[in-house]
Structure 1
Amino acid sequence: MNRQGWSVHQITLALYPFGAGAMAVNAFFASLIGSWMGGPVLSTNIALVVGAIIGLPATYTFARHIRALMDRADDTSHH
């Protein structure tokens, strides 16, 4: 099968800013919930760094899912 469209790495690169931002928000809100149990609340800068780090594998995983959906849609459209 000949793949058409963007590769997983291209999709990851295009979606990374959104994935990193989403992970930063999630990390910040998780720290707010953790503060109810005595944990520290993350600063904005720390939340952004955490988001940048955990955003990459999260975005890559999502890009693989999107690529698989593209492949499946492409496969069914050729039958």
Structure 2
Amino acid sequence: MTGRGFLKLTAALYPFGAGAMAVNLFFASLIGSWLGWSVLTPYSSVIGGLILGLPVTWAFGRHIRALIARAEA
């Protein structure tokens, strides 16, 4: 897969990665409330998901690209 194809794949997967990270951050903050930490608001979880979603989606895209390359070989 070329660099451009990888970027298209990553761009297509980014909304899902950002959404998953937002949900994970929110639920992690709920678990952290058991330790006395403050709970994130949904808005701050979405902003954190948008930021953390990019490297997570990039890593997942690399994994998918490796699976595609292995399947084509």
Considering the TM-score relative to the shorter chain, is it more than 0.5? yes
TM-score of the superposition, structure 2-length normalised?
0.92
**Equivalent residue letter for 1:24:** A
Q: CA deviation at 1:7?
A: 2.1
Mapped partners of 2:66, 2:8: distance in 1: 14
* 4+ residue runs over 6 A deviation: none
User: Which has the higher Rg, Structure 1 or Structure 2?
Assistant: 1
Q: Which residue of 2 aligns with 1:57?
A: 55
Superposition RMSD in Å: 1.3
The TM-score normalised by the length of structure 1 is 0.86
* Larger fraction in helix: 2
Identity across aligned pairs (percent)? 57
Which structure 1 segments of 5+ residues have no match? none
